[in-house]
Structure formats: structure tokens, C-alpha cells
A and B are shown apart, each in its own frame.
Chain A
Amino acid sequence: MRKIALLTVGVLAFEIALPALAAAQSLHTYVSGTGAGTLCSLAAPCATFQNAHDKTTAGGVVTCLDAGEYGPVNINRSITIDCVDTGATILGTDTGGINILTGDSFPIVVNLRGLTIDGGSASPFGIAMNSAGELHIERCRISGFRNGTAAAGITLASMDGSALDVSIADTIVTHNGSAAESPDTGGGILVLAAGATRVVLDRVEVSHNFPLGIGATAFGTAPSALALRDSAVVANVRNGIATSAANNGAFRVSVDRTSVSLNGGAGIVVLGASVVMIGQSTIAGNGSAFDAGGGGQIVSYQDNQTDGTPTSTVTDR
């Protein structure tokens, strides 16, 4: 009889807990600069992205209702943070701005829209993707991430055996990287490809970073690609675009209708078994236009405005 009573209590407790769990997360949550809610509902928005993330089911959406500083966020699931035209900001801390980390190879999809992410010179990265899946960044500004030996505005690291697909559009990445601590690492956008990695930049400005504007390194045998289109990689302290490959890896990079100018070092650097294709682009006014070594190639479609000489050419078809 006592066993039956205990079982009944247990079942009742379980039934009570189910609705509580269901209410704890929802597909659509909200933040507001004046928010003080805990459920992150439209009626009671939360004050921070982290609270909203934690209250959002995988695949859900966090919407900014108005301007505010919503704090850094650790993302561990598929999610969209949509703040276009609201004045939403994140001030990075000593642990970074947006850290996307699942801890396993299960692919996720993360969309970030309309964010100003500021490091205040005391934060190591604006956005770090250390998971498999997809990351799409639109209409964001990432600046001032200067703390640490590999400080960067955006760090994209794929895992061995997993694919990573990234697009960045209508975004400014400026004044990142540490001059004091990272003479050879850090910068605006860093791609560290251990698995198959594809990155597309469309209408992106990468400027005044240290030392690199864009660094792309392939560590594994999976093919990786970086495509720039209608973008500007300008006035970075050292190299504009630097690619390298190790362990039989290779990056294929296309630079299409893009300006790579006024960088203090080389405009484009290719080291190892990587190829950079340039078309309808301007590579001028850098310390030097091109630097290719270790079998790296810079191939031109012969329609570029440049004060340098590519390693080889191909004709339009």
C-alpha cells in the first residue's frame, strides 16, 4: 500500500514538472534595454542575451525589441539573434563576446543579425565559432577586440572530420588584434580549418586590424574555401589576406570585385599548397601586392588593377 502511495506521488510530481519544463523554454524569446523579465516573453522581455538564449529552444529566435547593451553570450544550440535596426550592442568581457561552443560534433545553425559588438580593448574575441554546422552573420559591426595573443574580431575554427559553413555579409570588422602580444597571430577574421570549411564574405569591410586583416589556415586534408566578393580589406597593420596550409591541407581563395589596399605588409600572402584567384579586384598601395611561397599560387584573371605581379594568369571564358 505504501509503495502504491509513493508511486502515485511520483507520478503526480512528474506530471506537475512537465508543464513547468515546457514553460521554461520557448521558440521565440525577447530582450529589451529596459527588460527585467525572467521568461523572456514579449510581455516580460529579459535584459540579457544569455538569459534569452537559455530560455530559447534549439532552432528558436531571440528578438531585440529596442536598443540596449545585452551582454556577452555563450551559445550551445541552433539559434537566431535578430536585432536589425534596434541599436543592440554587446560589450565583450575578458571571456569574449559571442562564444559558440557545443562541445561535440553535432551540427548547429546560428544566425546573428544587427549587432554592434565592442571589445573595449580588454576582450579576446568578438565572435568565436568552435562548433560544427553553420554561422551566418549579417549587418554587424565588430571592433576593439585586442586582448590576448590571438585576439580577433571573428574566429572560425572547424573540427577535424566536421564541416563548417560560414557567411558574413554587410558587416564591418575593424580595430581588432593585439599589437602588444601577437606579432604573428590575431587580426580581423581568423579561419582555422581542421575540417572542411567554407567561408563567404559579401560586402564586408575588414580594416585597421593587427596584424592581419584576414588569416586563413588549413590544418587538415579536407578542402577548404574562402570567397570574398564586393568587399574591402584595407589599412590593416600588416598583411591584408594571409593564407597558409599545413599537414597536406589547402585553401582555395577567390577575391572577386574586392579592394585589398593600403595594408602595411603584403596585400595577399599565400604560403603552402593554397591558391588565391583574383578577378576584377584592386590590389594596390600595400607594402607589397603579393607574397607567395612554399608552392602557393596567386592566379589572376588578368582584369585586376594592381601594382604587383601575380604568380600566374588564366583567361576569362
Chain B
Amino acid sequence: MTLFSGAGASRLVFDRVRIQNNTDGLLIQGTGLAAANVHVRDSLVVRNTRNGITAARTATVFVDHTSASDNGAAGILATAPGATVILGGATITRNGTGLVATSGGTIESYQNNQASGNDSDGLSPLTLPLK
């Protein structure tokens, strides 16, 4: 599933969605200065041949009690300036690489995720406190 977010602000919610057996699982890209806000909750992003969830533009992507597993490349990829992926209660396992941030993207964690068991678990995310 590819989301092209244009110049305007975008709000996208995925609730109990299964994204499976695609090339890219969930790919957020596009141009424009306004941020895209994406919330993925109680969902599965699994068995995609490339990346599970990719933030490739200015965006905040909250991965909330969601599994990104068995994807061929990265489970979570943040790959643009201003691309932030926040993990809370998520499971990132059995991917090529668990967590990848490049080109100015960042990944943050509430420290309550199961992110292990990947071929490579990847980076250690920035941490956020539970409140």
C-alpha cells in the first residue's frame, strides 16, 4: 500500500488492517512541507517482499500495538528528513533488518516493544517515557 501525501496535511488511520504479501507493506511518500500524520493500530504488516512500514517523507507514523514481521528488508524504515516512526507496544521480528533509519529519518520507542529475532535487529531507537 503506497500513500502519496501531497502538499496538504494528511491524517491517516489504519485500525485492524492486515497488509500482507505485497512488495512494500505500507509506504508513505510524496512531496510537500506539511507533515503526514499516520496512526497504525492493532494491525499486521507481514510477509511483504521489501519493507514493512516505510516513512519516506516528512511524517509522523505511530506504530501502535502492531506487528511488522516476516518482511524481506526492513520491518520499519524511516528514510527522509522529518520522517519519524514511533513504536509503542509493537512487535518487529523475523524481518531482514528490524529497525532502519537513513537520510535524516528517526525511530523512537516507548520501550515496550518486542523488536528482536530479526536477521539483524538494526538500530537502537531513541527512547520515550511512558506516562
Contact = CB atoms under 8 A, between A and B. Distances in A.
Interface in A294-309: 300, 302-306, 308-309
Nearest to A313: B131
B130 A259 contact: no
Contact of B88 (A230, A282, A300): A282
Contact of A300 (B41, B64, B65, B131): B131
A291 B15 CA distance: 25
Contact of B39 (A259, A304, A306, A310): A259
A284 B13 CA distance: 12
* Residue picked from A234, A282, A305, most chain B C-beta under 10 Å: A305
B110 A305 contact: yes
Contacts of B125: none
Contacts of A284: 39, 62, 86
B37 A310 contact: no
A109 B69 CA distance: 45
Nearest to B130: A303
Contact of A282 (B11, B37, B41, B60): B41
B82 interface: no
A6 B110 CA distance: 86
Contacts of A308: 131
A282 B15 contact: no
Nearest to B39: A261
Interface string B76-109: 0000000000101100000000000000000000
A237 to B, nearest CB: 10
Interface string A226-259: 0000101011000000000000000000000101
Contacts of A309: 131
A309 B62 CA distance: 18
Interface in B47-65: 60, 62, 64-65
A262 B11 contact: yes
B128 interface: yes
A262 B88 contact: no
Interface string B14-53: 0100000000000000000000010101100000000000
A309 B13 CA distance: 23
Contacts of A280: 89
Contacts of A304: 130-131
B30 to A, nearest CB: 18
Contacts of A305: 62, 64, 86, 88-89, 110, 112, 128, 130
A82 B45 CA distance: 34
A262 B13 contact: yes
B64 A282 contact: yes
A68 interface: no
A285 B37 contact: yes
A205 interface: yes
A259 B41 CA distance: 8
A232 B64 CA distance: 11
A232 B41 contact: yes
A235 B131 contact: no
A291 to B, nearest CB: 16
Contacts of A282: 39, 41, 62, 64-65, 88
A207 interface: yes
Given A261-B41, A282-B41, 18 more contacts: A207-B13, A232-B41, A234-B15, A235-B11, A259-B41, A261-B64, A262-B13, A262-B39, A282-B62, A282-B64, A285-B60, A302-B131, A304-B131, A305-B62, A305-B89, A305-B130, A306-B131, A310-B131
20 contacts: A230-B42, A232-B13, A232-B41, A261-B41, A261-B64, A262-B39, A280-B89, A282-B39, A282-B64, A284-B62, A284-B86, A285-B37, A285-B62, A302-B130, A302-B131, A305-B62, A305-B112, A305-B128, A305-B130, A310-B131
Interface of B: 11, 13, 15, 37, 39, 41-42, 60, 62, 64-65, 86, 88-89, 110, 112, 128, 130-131
Top 7 A-B residue pairs of the complex, sorted by shortest distance between their CB atoms: A305-B88, A261-B39, A262-B11, A234-B13, A305-B110, A259-B41, A282-B64
